[in-house]
Structure 1
Amino acid sequence: MGRAATPPSPSPDWAFFLDVDGTLLEIAETPADVKVDTCLLDLIAQLYRRSTGAVALVSGRSLTDLDALLGLPRLPMAGQHGLERRDMAGRLWIHAAPPAAKCAIKEALAPALVRHPELLLEDKGLTLALHYRLAPHLAGYAHRLMTRLVSTTGEGLELQRGKRVVEVKPAGIDKGTAIAEYMREPPFLGRTPVFIGDDLNDEHGFSEVNRLDGISIKVGNAASCARFRLPNVAAVRSWLATAMKGWECRT
């Protein structure tokens, strides 16, 4: 796809779907090192109020992790790339239990983690994420290893690649399916969907939003099917905050 344009000014009658790491928050060396500031929490709260609740976070993190990180238990959220989802009413939807193959892969990774302690294995419950942020030179090794393990023991599983991470997850569910589910429910139903993300795992979300003739926004310069671009986390926050000032003027 060619160079994407700057997105149009957001509208309060859109449905907002937002990735977290790399989109609303700067990526840290490890997931646990991410810092959340009160300005972001205020921004999310304002967007939620002014869009009458049509805001959902769509993340690779687990819902437990998102709640602990952000402290927003009433906000709709999809975690683990859509495998778990909390709707507007607070109901929890789980799409897959961790298969036995996932446990076998975790056991098989143990020797590699001993050999390469700079690799970090994150067990999110429904997925396994192997991070190599602290050792980017091990990228090829990490991808080959996870590919081999999924091909030999991963029936019903698939690989999800991201920024310095490769993840094993149940097949067939992703950020795009999570957005599609939200769009069938109030308060998202009937609105124009917008999804903002930065990573390879966000491409499913962009594809679904494009299918719905919505606003897909890629953060950064990497190749993407998204129709629009913002350069970085600061630009995402500014785009949302500046628009809401305009909403205030119209009310």
Structure 2
Amino acid sequence: MLAVFTDFDGTLVEIAETPDAIDVPSGLTERIDRALHDFDHAFAVLTGREIADIDRYLSPLQLPVAGAHGAQRRRADGTLEEVDQAIIEGADAIAQSLQALAMTNPDLLIEAKDGAVAMHFRQAPEMEEAVHLAMQEALLDHPQFTLVPGKMVLEARPVGFDKGAALRAFMQEEPFAGRTPIFIGDDRTDEDAFRAAQELGGVGIKLGSGETAARMRIANVASVYALLEGLGGLAHRHQDAAPIVTDTAH
């Protein structure tokens, strides 16, 4: 039996110029709802976004989600792990310290979250070095945070929180426990989850090119949909399989 985990941006939806500009394809919630049933609800999203963001885009579904790279987590039973107030305050302070750079460079975007903060430079790639320097300086007063690079984004997240740790936490709970984990992602921030899935006997699957710890690779978002459908079909065949009894009486 499988436990399936996916990233969101770049995996379930295409990456956009800004986080708010993504296009959620028609039928995505229905695809995910089918996956929930195919995998007996052992399906979760591990994302850099906040849980509230995922709920907004995938309404009316309320999935198990690890948000802000694991700083937030909603279990399959709906209970939430509380974010430590010191972490929230630290992320707010880091975001405030980045405001001066963002104000003088309006193509930079600060994405503040409960427990993490990201600065996107997709619309100003020439600012990458300046963003790195500003965030390194911001973290000098907040050693409980670490920097994590992504696709045209740099994120400050709490030390000890990552998608791999979130995957491991889910795998200790129902309905994930005892299953074989599969994690599908596209970014450098997904590498911890690739490794965690594989260390637990499962598989990491990376979209696109680039160096990775994942043992498998697929092409694009459309391939993710096809993969989920295929894995769901395998799960159904496994569930429906029954021994064939031949009547040999004469």
Tell me if both proteins adopt one fold, taking TM over 0.5 as the criterion. yes
Report the Cα offset of residue 147 of structure 1. 1.6
Report the Cα offset of residue 237 of structure 1. 1.0
Report the Cα offset of residue 146 of structure 1. 0.9
Report the Cα offset of residue 222 of structure 1. 1.0
Aligned to 2:215: 227
Of 16, 29, 40, the residue aligned with 2:17 is 29
Distance 1:55 1:100 in 2: 31
Report the Cα offset of residue 100 of structure 1. 4.1
Contact 1:58 1:77 in 2 (8 A): yes
Say if 1:89 and 1:243 are closer, same or farther in 2 by CA, change over 3 A: closer
Larger radius of gyration: 2
Aligned: 1:145 with 2:134: yes
Contact 1:63 1:79 in 2 (8 A): yes
Aligned to 1:90: 78
Report the Cα offset of residue 185 of structure 1. 0.6
Aligned to 1:218: 206
Deviations 1:80-115 (A, max 9, x none): 101111111100013533254433322221211111
Distance 1:100 1:88 in 2: 27
Distance 2:83 2:93 in 1: 20
What code does the residue aligned with 1:187 have?
P
| Counterpart secondary structure, 1:38 | coil
Say if 1:73 and 1:234 are closer, same or farther in 2 by CA, change over 3 A: closer
Deviations 1:34-76 (A, max 9, x none): 1112322111111100111110011110011111111144321
Aligned to 1:209: 197
Aligned to 1:189: 177
Aligned to 2:41: 53
Q: CA RMSD in A?
A: 1.6
| Counterpart secondary structure, 2:63 | coil
Aligned to 2:2: 14
| Counterpart secondary structure, 1:209 | helix
| Counterpart secondary structure, 2:204 | strand
Of 88, 97, 122, the residue aligned with 1:108 is 97
Please report the TM-score for the alignment, with normalisation by the length of structure 1.
0.89
Deviations 1:187-219 (A, max 9, x none): 101000000011111011011112112111111
Instruction: Give me the identity figure in percent.
Output: 37
Higher relative CO (Cα under 8 Å, sequence separation at least 6) belongs to 1
Distance 1:192 1:249 in 2: 16
Contact 2:164 2:193 in 1 (8 A): yes
Distance 2:150 2:144 in 1: 20
Say if 1:50 and 1:104 are closer, same or farther in 2 by CA, change over 3 A: closer
Distance 1:224 1:157 in 2: 24
| Counterpart secondary structure, 2:27 | helix
Aligned to 1:4: none
Question: Which segment is superposed worse, 231-240 or 66-75?
Answer: 66-75
Question: Which segment is superposed worse, 214-223 or 241-250?
Answer: 241-250
